[in-house]
Amino acid sequence: MKNIRPFLFAFLAVLTFSLSSCDVIGDIFQAGAWTALIGIFIVVVLIAFLVRKMRR
C-alpha cells in the first residue's frame, strides 16, 4: 500500500491542474441529464405497457 500512495498523490495533483472545476461540474450535470431522460423514457414505456396489459 505504501508504494501506491506516491502514485495516488501524483495522479490527484495532475487531475487538479489539468481539469478545471467548471468542466467537471458541467460533465457531471450533462451525464445526470441524460440519465434522467433515459429513466423517464423507461418509466413511460413501462406505464404504457402496464396500461395495455390491464385493458385486455
What pLDDT was estimated at residue 53? 93
Q: Phi and psi at residue 2, in whole multiples of 5°?
A: -70, -30
Whether the model clears a pTM of 0.75, i.e. scores above it, the answer is no
What pLDDT was estimated at residue 2? 62
What pLDDT was estimated at residue 45? 97
**pLDDT tens profile 3-56:** 777 788 888 887 777 766 677 778 888 889 999 999 999 999 999 999 999 987
What pLDDT was estimated at residue 39? 94
Q: Give the whole-angstrom CA distance, residue 22 versus residue 6.
A: 27
What pLDDT was estimated at residue 40? 96
